[in-house]
A = this chain, B = another copy of it.
């Protein structure tokens, strides 16, 4: 099987290494506008071949592992070379916007595009940080389109499973709503909290006394600003709904404090601690599970 990987960085490189380990007969072609990065990937043995977009004609599956805003550009690059047999998937953190962009470029060929999102990452970017184990035991969300044929979805699913991932399907809308809540909102809050403190006239005093709780709470504020700017803009509507829900939480906290309502505060904290303890223990059955 010929695999094309557009963007051989942390995600694309890890996908290549995991697939090669699972099946040595795979031929992996790297396609990247950054020739130096491709040369490194080839030297590391991550890819078999540094290829141009024309190589898309030989690919059974192409993974787009570039920043989301580049997806329309790289799709346009390979579009002239696509056969009807190639399945394309992606690794973008948002899905509704990627689907819209893919529809605009691919037109009738949208049936060949199976949107995906591996829930895995590292603090360090680039092929040098790639790891065959990056997806081991992690979730990969596919958000198939009505136009996708079953075998196309199955081909993408089996590749991620070969990487050791657990593959689940949901709609692009559900995906964006879920990740706005459990990932995008926390990132925005962490960035905003650090920025607000750093802007204070006596910021040095605050940072002098920040300890391990602050360190972990704000770890995700060390993430890539460019990537998170794009995620925020690309998932704007869901994120605005989450920010509004968060404002309600803050208003409730303030009301409990203003009235010195220790019972309300302790109840909230106890519910939160129990929920988090259950989640950390992998016990999800206690959570509410009505229609998503």
Q: Pick the contact of A271 from B195, B228, B233 — CB < 8 Å?
A: B195
Q: Mark interface residues in A270-292 (1 if CB within 8 Å of B CB, else 0).
A: 11110111011000110111111
Across the interface, do A206 and B193 meet the contact criterion of CB distance under 8 Å? Answer: no
A191 lies within 8 A of chain B by Cβ = yes
CB-CB contacts below 8 Å: A185-206 with B: 185-206
A100 lies within 8 A of chain B by Cβ = no
A36 lies within 8 A of chain B by Cβ = no
Across the interface, do B209 and A179 meet the contact criterion of CB distance under 8 Å? Answer: yes
Nearest residue (CB) in B for A217 is B186
Across the interface, do B201 and A276 meet the contact criterion of CB distance under 8 Å? Answer: no
Across the interface, do A178 and B206 meet the contact criterion of CB distance under 8 Å? Answer: yes
Contact A291 to B201, CB < 8 A, known contacts A192-B250, A225-B266, A254-B240? yes
Complex Cα distance, B251 from A196, in Å, reads 12
Q: Pick the contact of A288 from B195, B204, B243 — CB < 8 Å?
A: B204
Nearest residue (CB) in B for A200 is B288
Tally of chain A residues near chain B (CB < 8 A): 98
Nearest residue (CB) in B for A228 is B269
Cβ of A92 to closest chain B Cβ, rounded Å = 15
Complex Cα distance, B251 from A148, in Å, reads 40
Across the interface, do B257 and A243 meet the contact criterion of CB distance under 8 Å? Answer: yes
Q: Pick the contact of A276 from B200, B221, B239 — CB < 8 Å?
A: B221
Across the interface, do B257 and A240 meet the contact criterion of CB distance under 8 Å? Answer: yes
Q: Could you list some 12 contacts between A and B, CB below 8 A?
A: A119-B211, A121-B212, A139-B211, A178-B209, A186-B218, A192-B253, A196-B245, A205-B289, A216-B217, A228-B269, A232-B257, A236-B260
